[in-house]
């Protein structure tokens, strides 16, 4: 079973990224052959600062490996180090209906929020399809926001196969057990767009500042509090054991337990959970050449499969 997933380097990774995507990928690497890539071509639709893109790309690599991704087991690489994906994007674009791309929810949402309607933004799903089909992926972990893009990938693979002959494996979506929405410090979904994140690579001081800034209501210290509407508890529950979560819920309901104390407990648990991550990250960051070698080695392994698939596609359309 071949698994493929990617993540954009569009800013510092946060707790929502870790629980929603990274942990899923790390768990899957022991269940099959995993291809995980840093989608820096995709990031160009939102990031226009070259230095920032380079740094964010390295930060994603540091974070993933520090969280438990094993580059010996997983093929881990930068998207831009596999140029074959761009040629395949063009070959898929010749069977991509304009109407299909116009119906993409992500494209319509970004335009509605003021993004410029560029060809790159419009053709984003075709590049994503090339990412997936280039490695003949069996399954692709997706959340609700990316499910339509995988459906587009499947449509393009079927169209290409019907027009030019069997070339691509039709990938299946992998919908993991429902991942709880990770709330941000303001109670909305945690997102860089909302500036409400708790970065997993933040310094102890930055982590403390973020957690202590979590918005709470004005219930007095002595009064009972509802865990279900408490953002501090909702975040604590995502990291805690069931016993720890039940203990905090009981204290909140009983009264005499303030939000400030709950935040301190969340901070202590966060620091405990990510202590090993921070140590590993510092070690990797001190060896940039070693990190670069990991990415280059991953790209070479990825290109072995990429070249095979591209050769099949070129032959199918008559370029070879």
CA 317 to chain CA centroid, nearest Å: 33
- Count the residues in the chain: 320
**The token pair that represents 14 in the structure block:** 């946060």
Between CA 49 and CA 110 the distance in angstroms is 19
Secondary structure class of 78 (helix, strand, coil): strand
Residue 35 near residue 75 (C-beta atoms within 8 A) = yes
- Eight-state DSSP code of residue 199: B
Residue 189 is among the residues annotated as catalytic for this protein: yes
Phi and psi, residue 4, nearest 5°: -135, 140
Please report how many Cα atoms fall inside a 13 Å half-sphere around the Cα of residue 212, on the Cβ side: 8
Q: Which of 52, 147, 169, 192 is catalytic?
A: 192
Alpha carbon separation from 176 to 21, 39, 143, 264 (Å, rounded): 10, 21, 8, 31
Between CA 210 and CA 202 the distance in angstroms is 9
**The token pair that represents 52 in the structure block:** 């920032």
Could you report how far apart the first and last alpha carbons of the chain are, in Å? 29
In sequence order, which ranges of 165-258 are alpha helices (DSSP H)?
204-212, 231-239, 242-254
Residue 110 is among the residues annotated as catalytic for this protein: yes
Q: Which residue has the tokens 């993004």?
A: 115
Q: Which of 12, 110, 237, 263 is catalytic?
A: 110
Alpha carbon separation from 83 to 49, 80, 89, 131, 230 (Å, rounded): 21, 6, 10, 11, 47
Between CA 223 and CA 253 the distance in angstroms is 8
Q: Which of 189, 208, 273, 280 is catalytic?
A: 189
DSSP lists the bridge partners of residue 153 as none
Residue 273 is among the residues annotated as catalytic for this protein: no
Catalytic residues: 110, 189, 192
């Amino acid at each position: 079973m071949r698994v493929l997933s990617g993540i954009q380097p569009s800013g510092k990774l946060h707790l929502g990224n870790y629980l929603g995507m990274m942990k899923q990928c790390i768990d899957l690497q022991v269940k099959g052959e995993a291809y995980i890539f840093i989608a820096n071509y995709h990031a160009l639709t939102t990031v226009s600062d070259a230095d920032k893109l380079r740094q964010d790309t390295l930060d994603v690599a540091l974070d993933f490996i520090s969280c438990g991704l094993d580059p010996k087991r997983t093929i881990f690489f930068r998207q831009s180090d596999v140029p074959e994906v761009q040629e395949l994007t063009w070959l898929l674009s010749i069977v991509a209906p304009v109407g299909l791309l116009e119906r993409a929810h992500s494209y319509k949402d970004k335009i509605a929020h003021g993004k410029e309607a560029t060809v790159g933004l419009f053709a984003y799903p075709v590049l994503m399809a090339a990412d997936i089909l280039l490695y003949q992926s069996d399954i692709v972990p997706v959340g609700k926001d990316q499910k339509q893009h995988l459906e587009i990938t499947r449509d393009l693979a079927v169209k290409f196969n019907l027009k030019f002959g069997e070339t691509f494996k039709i990938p299946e979506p992998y919908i993991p057990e429902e991942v709880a929405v990770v709330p941000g410090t303001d109670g909305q979904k945690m997102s860089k767009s909302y500036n409400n994140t708790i970065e997993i690579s933040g310094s102890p001081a930055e982590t403390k500042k973020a957690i202590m800034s979590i918005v709470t209501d004005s219930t007095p210290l002595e009064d009972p509090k509802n865990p279900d509407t408490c953002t501090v508890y909702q975040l604590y529950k995502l990291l805690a054991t069931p016993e720890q979560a039940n203990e905090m819920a009981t204290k909140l309901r009983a009264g005499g337990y303030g939000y400030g104390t709950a935040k301190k407990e969340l901070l202590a648990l966060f620091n405990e959970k990510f202590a090993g991550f921070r140590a590993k990250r510092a070690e990797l960051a001190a060896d940039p050449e070693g990190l670069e070698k990991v990415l280059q080695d991953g790209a070479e392994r990825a290109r072995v499969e990429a070249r095979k698939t591209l050769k099949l596609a070129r032959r199918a359309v008559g370029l070879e």
